[in-house]
Structure 1
Amino acid sequence: MNTAHALLRPLLIVLALSAALAEAKAAAEPPAPAPDAAAAQPLRLPVNAKHVVVVDDATGNVLMARDAAAIVPIASLTKLMTAMVILDARQHPAERLRISDDDVDRLKHSKSFVRVGTELSRQDALELALVSSDNRAASALARAYPGGESAFVRALQAKVRALGLRNTSLQEPTGLSPQNTSTAIEVARITAAAARYPEIARITSSKRATVALSGRTRELHNTNRLVGAKGWNILLSKTGYTDEAGRCLAMRMMSGARAVTVVLLDADGSAHRLRDAALIRKSLSRTTS
């Protein structure tokens, strides 16, 4: 019996390595190259956002664009990349994390209802980061990454390279730093990559979620109020905001029978961001019909 196991062991190791390499390749595989945004139909709608792109997900064609190649801060849209890197590491979702003083935002002094000392699972930290855009949760996920936060940042930057994002630079997991920059067209590619992760799609397309913080249940509400709203079929969503980035939105949604990705960067306020999305949706429905 021991001899048989000894003979089988090298084969099992090879098979396991082959499976791991195949999975890593699938996770890192960049989406199909999108056409140049400059060649797209100019955006003639009276939208407020300064940088806009709308992409047909099936073909990769850019349907509408406005200054979509400008490199600008992307705020919490960063958390889509953070979530992909965390899931790529395949750490146990039930492992307990603790929010520490290191997770407190001393750059922008953003608020969080998650107190220092709170214990939560990695899964709940992921839900907090994506649904409520909680910065402490995103920071804790990066600290608990194999090798710590510095290793996480290296993995984040490696993911940027793997996705072929030549105009994207990410320095930390939350998006609070104005040095986390990208373009509307590359955020659309980030959104397409994130959509290949069923867990990210499920979490970000939910109107609400429930998490356990130090044993106490807390209900979260999606920062995108369009998720779950009547007439909207949103497949993936993430909002963002800092003073430098303005109000941002990356969203994959159904427009009739086709899926499209909408990216809005640097809108003047939440109301403008929602109005922009509604105008684009209405214009797409007219084009389809």
Structure 2
Amino acid sequence: MKQAVLLFCILFFCSHHALAQKNNPDIKSQAAIVFNAQNERIIYDKNADKVMPIASITKLMTAMVTLDAHLPPNEKITITQADVDKLKRTSSRLPVGSSYPRHELLRLALMSSENRAAAALGRTYPGGTQAFVQAMNLKAKKIGMVNSRFVDSTGLNSGNVSTARDLAKLVSASNNYVPIREFSTTSKHFVSPGNKRGQLQYVNSNSLVHNQNWEIGVSKTGYLNEAGRCLVMQANISGQPVVIVLLNSWGKNTRIGDANRVKKWIEGNQGRRQV
């Protein structure tokens, strides 16, 4: 009798565990949220209200504030010493003294997370960088990002913080901007710094935009030691617009693995329940 009870308990635990695994995408990132933008339903969340550094995910807000200002997209902006990263000392292939149309800097900031491009966009905003940061925080409040704060346009400062829940709102709002959808999902792009080196090729920092199995509308990666590896996207999965936010993925490929696990999980559950 005891053996029968024990066998029943083992079988129950195993089946329950298997069911739990089936209904959980097994996200490795420290914080995450998966959100259906069509019916505004949260499909999955993990530490979604934990305030964390967001690194270059910041650049989605940079793009929205830049576009909201309706500044001339073809206006040439010159990279200056003020745009050089003195905080983290990250490198850039945009030389000081080279000039680019504003829309080119916006594309490079979004697709390739070019820090000097994002710094220049903030610096050349009416009123300068300080006014730009104020506009970022006002925009955050306007779209309901209640636990977020921005201190620069690049995300290099770990004082740029948010939550997975707030970033789902940021991604959804970004999806309303045609240039953000186009620029953030550009696979590769060439720019000319105007010197003898010729054209520079930039590639998207999110390898999934090259993957034909993905239909991505908005994409942004981020990385800082303090933030880990981050990834946010809006993608069409099983015919639904799904926002995916993944924060603090320490493994080099973890955020990509998590995104693929989310996609597979949603597709696998599509027949069993509405997502």
- Shorter-chain-normalised TM-score: which range? 0.7 to 0.9
* Separation of aligned partners in 1, 2:241 and 2:130: 36
Larger radius of gyration between Structure 1 and Structure 2: 2
8 Å contact kept, 1:200–1:236: yes
| 1:32 alignment counterpart | none
8 Å contact kept, 1:208–1:220: yes
CA displacement at 1:43 relative to structure 2: 7.7
Q: Would you say 1:285 and 2:267 are equivalent positions?
A: yes
| 2:182 alignment counterpart | 202
Deviation track 1:68-113 (CA, whole Å, cap 9, x = no partner) reads: 1100000000000000000011111111111111111111111211
**Aligned structure 1 segments of 4 or more residues deviating by more than 2 angstroms:** 42-47, 209-219
CA displacement at 1:116 relative to structure 2: 1.2
Match 1:254 to one of 236, 239, 244: 236
Q: Percent identity?
A: 37
Provide TM-score, normalisation by structure 1: 0.83
Extract unaligned runs of 5+ from structure 1.
1-41
| 1:219 alignment counterpart | 201
8 Å contact kept, 2:119–2:153: yes
* Separation of aligned partners in 2, 1:248 and 1:228: 18
Extract unaligned runs of 5+ from structure 2.
1-21
Instruction: Note closer, same or farther for the CA distance 1:43–1:143 as it changes in structure 2 (3 Å cut).
Output: farther
Q: What is the RMSD of the two structures over their aligned residues, measured on CA atoms?
A: 1.4
| 2:143 alignment counterpart | 163
| 1:230 alignment counterpart | 212
8 Å contact kept, 2:222–2:230: yes
* Separation of aligned partners in 2, 1:74 and 1:227: 21
CA displacement at 1:236 relative to structure 2: 0.7
| 1:147 alignment counterpart | 127
Instruction: Note closer, same or farther for the CA distance 1:233–1:140 as it changes in structure 2 (3 Å cut).
Output: same
| 1:128 alignment counterpart | 108
CA displacement at 1:287 relative to structure 2: 1.0
CA displacement at 1:270 relative to structure 2: 3.0
What is the one-letter code of the residue matched to 1:280? V
Provide TM-score, normalisation by structure 2: 0.87
- Aligned pairs, how many? 248
* Separation of aligned partners in 2, 1:253 and 1:212: 31
